[in-house]
Amino acid sequence: SLNLSDASLMRAALFQLGSNIPGRLLLIIHHLAVDGVSWRILLEDLLVAYQQVGRGELIQLPPKTTSFKEWSIRLTEYAQSNAISSELDYWLTQSGQGLTPLPVDFSLSHESNKVAATSNVSVSLNAEETRALLQEVPSAYNTQMNDVLLTALLQSFARWTGERSLRLDLEGHGREELFDDVDISRTVGWFTSLFPVCLEEEDKHPGQALKSIKEQLRRLPNRGIGYGILRYLSPTAAQIQTVPPAQVRFNYLGQVAQEESHVWQLTQESGGSESSRLGYRSHLLDVSGIVVNGRLQIDWSYSNEIHRRSTIERLAGWFMEALRDLIDHCRSPDAVGFTPSDFSKAGLSQRELDDLIAEID
């Protein structure tokens, strides 16, 4: 029922299911108005307001931060600067690498990649594995979640395609700290950044592979936000807009915390289709991860007119094998090490850093 022509960007409905059954609140907001971080801000504010009203208090929410309009203006100004134009060669190089087509099971066409043909395969870690991934794995090599997930992703695709490189479009939250006088930590809007990354499998050993992907991701300028600015706002936009998108998109959405107050919680029911069935998918494979109820879930979205379900299930299974191998390795006593980005001002290569640490030991 959302309609952009009359600015209908939000719908809300309360379902009362009887005196002994918890009700359901359905909120639907167009992606033009919210992103994943925005949902957390809105739900947090909604819960605070609900509790304050329940106690007979006035609704009092934290102060607002920089408006989406002001952020847009500042991005437009930034797009004309030397700082962003200096990234152009980097992004043109990234966009032109790793374009080997993915294997397909059926004939590939624009029509076969329509939203109506979308299917999904979901795989997940158990609670203990997820706890280890979140709390123990980062300390081994000073990594972040994307480092680990993308290492497993590259290894699973290499097993499928036989290629040691993979070009993908990586989604980020887009709320980068570009300006000292701008705070968008509580601003609601669509900030998401999308940018190409070409990952190389340089070593099959879990520890070495993880360190390699970590360093490849650390070379991204400003966590990738510059690509979209150059593509849509800068005078050099035409040079990037001719580059075709990757066939794979990856997005880690973070953790969805459950409130301990038991006032409300996320439901298990589906909220319905998120896209019109008349539309077309932008990528062959959409891979997204999220931690809900203490468990990591990875969803693989594909077209059943391009790939068989068994193909995607096998690929998702290889991903989980690689991810569990990384978790097991990082929990082992000998999984301790640093990479050059941990000492960025030193200007050391990985070999030089390893030699230096060995000498200190």
Query: What are 314's two structure tokens?
Result: 């096998």
Residue 346 is predicted with a pLDDT of 84
Is residue 244 within 8 A of residue 96, CB to CB? The reply is: no
**What one-letter code names the amino acid at 281?**
R
Which positions of the chain have pLDDT values less than 70? 96-98, 257-262
Residue 259 is predicted with a pLDDT of 53
**270-318 per-position pLDDT tens digit:** 877 888 889 999 999 999 999 988 999 999 999 999 999 999 999 999 9
294/292 Cα distance (integer angstroms):
5
Residue 142 is predicted with a pLDDT of 94
CA nearest neighbour of 86 among 180, 222, 192: 222
Query: What are 127's two structure tokens?
Result: 């609670």
Measuring CA to CA, how many Å separate 153 from each of 73, 171, 254, 300?
Answer: 36, 14, 17, 11
In this structure, what DSSP letter does residue 101 have?
P
Greatest CA separation for the chain? 70
Residue 163 is predicted with a pLDDT of 93
Locus of tokens 């640490």:
357
Residue 258 is predicted with a pLDDT of 59
Is residue 101 within 8 A of residue 247, CB to CB? The reply is: yes
**What one-letter code names the amino acid at 19?**
S
Residue 97 is predicted with a pLDDT of 65
